[in-house]
Amino acid sequence: MKKLLLVSLISALAAAFILPVSAGPEESLQIQVSTPLVSISLTPDSISFGTVSLGQEKEASVYPSVINNGSVSVDVDMKGSNAVHGDNTWTLSDVGNEANQYMLRISKSSNWETGVLNLSTTYKDFHDPLTSEQSFHVKILMPKTTSAYGEYTTQITVLATESGI
């Protein structure tokens, strides 16, 4: 019986050293993280000024809105672009309208004396922070002269970034 007990004890010790243990040389920890949703929309998505004489200015009859439909407050920046008609271009300026040079102006209200943003082809701060919606007025100042007549198209680009970053 002693031999059997000794053999059983030796076998049990050998099995303890040979069998794998529950912890290995490497373990992992699962991590989950969510990113905030930065998302905006514009409504309406187009404006038509109709026919505007050279050297004149005109405010659009519709007032677009930037809508924050994301999960965080956003900082909103805007920029314009040069206006194009076929191979002809009017350059966007934020300081004046001259020959083949026009302006796009943005305002949060119909008061064009204060709070006006003259767009350029680089982003400018429009509204910080935007939690829900901001409507705005758009005005065009036509070139004083042009080398080509016709229908020109341009665009305003709106960029949203998470506030406070």
For position 42, what pLDDT does the model report?
96
Q: How far apart are CA 131 and CA 123, in angstroms?
A: 20
The answer to the question of residue 112 being in a domain is yes
pTM: 0.79
Residue 78: give the domain boundaries: 40-162
Diameter of the chain measured on Cα atoms? 116
CATH number at residue 76: 2.60.40
Would residue 81 count as lying in a domain?
A: yes
Confidence at 18, pLDDT banded by 50, 70, 90: low
Residue 52 belongs to a domain: yes
Given this model, what pLDDT does residue 9 score?
A: 47
Looking at the structure of the chain, the number of domains it has is 1
Say if 77 falls within a structural domain. Answer: yes
Model pLDDT for residues 66-89, shown as the tens digit of each residue: 999 999 999 999 999 999 999 999
CB distance 92 to 103 below 8 Å: yes
Q: What percent of the chain has pLDDT over 70?
A: 86
In-domain check, residue 157: yes
Q: Quick: pLDDT tens for 82-118.
A: 999 999 999 999 999 999 999 999 999 988 988 899 9
Asked whether residue 69 is assigned to any structural domain, the reply reads yes
Of 85, 70, 5, give the one whose Cα is nearest residue 35. Answer: 70
Place of tokens 């709070």: 115
- Residue 133 CA to residue 155 CA, distance in Å, equals 20
Mean pLDDT of the chain: 89
Q: Which stretches does DSSP call E strand in the chain?
A: 40-43, 57-59, 65-68, 74-79, 83-85, 88-92, 101-107, 116-118, 124-130, 133-135, 137-141, 157-162
